[in-house]
Amino acid sequence: MSANAQAPTRKADPAAAAVDKTPDVHAFLNEVAQRNPGEPEFLQAVHEVAQDVLPFIADKPEYRDMRVLERMAEPDRIISFRVAWQDDQGKVQINRGYRVQNNNAIGPYKGGLRFHPSVNQGILKFLAFEQTFKNSLTGLPMGGGKGGADFDPKGRSEAEIMRFCQAFMSELVNHIGPDCDVPAGDIGVGGREIGFLFGQYKRLSHQFQGVLTGKGTSFGGSLMRPEATGYGTVYMMQNLLQHAGEDIAGKTCVVSGSGNVATFCVQKLTELGGKVVTLSDSGGYIHDAQGISAEKLHWVMELKNKHRGRIEAYASEFGCDFHAGERPWHVPCDLAFPCATQNELNEVDAAALARNNCRAVSEGANMPTTPGAMQVLTDAGIAVAPAKAANAGGVATSGLEMSQNSQRYAWTREEIDSKLQTIMAGIHEQCLAYGEHNQGVNYGRGANIAGFVKVADAMLAQGVL
């Protein structure tokens, strides 16, 4: 496998995550590492936040003494359960399902469900922790949660997917509700799965409620929810560039992934005059130097959503290169959008982006950049809009879906898009408020501190819980 090979979820280095020069950060992370053995992604996510938040609260005893960050890094509860179901051959299959309810200080738990063979408790804890800060940044009243199962939807029939979703919801139904915990989609969970999950919840609870977001528009789903994460990632980049007096038009863009986030990211970039030259999946990436036009993107969406095909097919359909087992970061670009999965952009990739004079990165996926890669990008002066800010448009629009469900009303596409743009601009402002310094903007620090403050203040007001 070359240095640029596409490993399945690469493991973060827990030792690296536990080393930091600030004594406070070091002690804090040691304690977290001891309490959460074998969960490198969770440690990585906590480290990223702690390195910004601990210095910020160093002179704020109200947060320190009440051990607010320590409490945020300990989920309110974790539910884990057996999901037994029968495949098309009648064979009994057993998976493990989870819901991590991280923090509900500012609203009901809210966050996606991931169906992927790599799912484990540590990965969902990292995602639920991140979600707590992300949801805070949206300005909407949503706490943080995440769930899923180690189920692999690849190669499964529609009937098998439905039976799995029904079995999964048969237990999850006991732990969620419109004012308690509202799941949505993530990797491997899109509109089709949300439909099956919603149907089973309704059957078991005898209630038609806004208990999931990302629903079909005929049964309470919000317009623009499918587009929202990818569009939001681009709106974040637009804000970042505008702050520096630049624009997306004319920029060459590299995008990874070819699922929900990636495809709508490409759609908005193209609409704004950007030229997107790559897409990928776990098999490798395509490089289309001509650019992925609206027509070609439509073909990709059909390939992925209808035929459940592989991105390799794009290369033969449109006559371009396919790089098996590799990721797209070595293709020269002005802007990069990692939109597949965690730790998909490493130090070697970051060095390639720097060498090719990449200007900025907007993270559509959750924690796609390794800590080492983040350092390389920062040293090279490449601005990085971190996931908890850049991909918050998805959950923000989920929040808007909850509002519409509560009102029993539906806003127009234009109304939602305008609210989404306002929310993304607001997140950019919050990043500036805490992240702007003499040399520029540290978006990561800005997002971490702004996300922390709102949740922390709510926790202080609510007592020791």
Active site residues: 146
Choose the one of ligand 2IT, ligand NDP, none that binds residue 340, judging by a C-beta under 5 to 8 angstroms depending on kind.
ligand NDP
Answer yes or no whether residue 120 interacts with ligand NDP by CB under 6 A: no
Contact 187, 114 (CB under 8 A): yes
- Contact letters for ligand 2IT, residues 186-205 (x by CB under 6 A): x-------------------
Spatial CA neighbour of 70 closest among 43, 100, 32, 98: 32
Whose tokens are 């950019």? That residue is 428
In angstroms, the first-to-last Cα distance of the chain is: 48
Interface pick for ligand 2IT out of 124, 395, 420, 431 (rule CB under 6 A): 395
Stretch that binds ligand 2IT, among 33-41, 110-118, 197-205, 237-245 (CB under 6 A): 110-118
Whose tokens are 């590799």? That residue is 326
Interface pick for ligand NDP out of 49, 72, 276, 340 (rule CB under 6 A): 340
Nearer to ligand 2IT, 115 or 322 (CB): 115
Whose tokens are 């637009």? That residue is 238
Nearer to ligand NDP, 54 or 211 (CB): 211
Answer yes or no whether residue 364 interacts with ligand NDP by CB under 6 A: yes
Element (H or E) spanning 286, and its range?
A: strand 284-287
Interface pick for ligand 2IT out of 36, 398, 404, 448 (rule CB under 6 A): 398
Answer yes or no whether residue 102 interacts with ligand NDP by CB under 6 A: no
Whose tokens are 């409620």? That residue is 209
What does the radius of gyration of the chain's CA atoms come to, in whole angstroms?
Answer: 21
Nearer to ligand 2IT, 28 or 133 (CB): 133
Cα(438)–Cα(441) distance, rounded to whole angstroms?
8
Residue type, 463: G
Interface pick for ligand NDP out of 40, 107, 188, 328 (rule CB under 6 A): 188
Spatial CA neighbour of 110 closest among 88, 87, 140, 86: 140
SS3 111: strand
**Residue 186, strand partner residues:** 189
Whose tokens are 């996926």? That residue is 365
Answer yes or no whether residue 9 interacts with ligand NDP by CB under 6 A: yes
- Contact letters for ligand 2IT, residues 165-184 (x by CB under 6 A): -------------------x
Answer yes or no whether residue 238 interacts with ligand NDP by CB under 6 A: no
Interface pick for ligand 2IT out of 394, 435, 444, 446 (rule CB under 6 A): 394
CA angle 20, 440, 346 (to 5 degrees): 50
- Please report, as ranges, the residues that interact with ligand 2IT according to CB under 6 A: 110-112, 131, 134, 184, 186, 213, 366, 394-395, 398
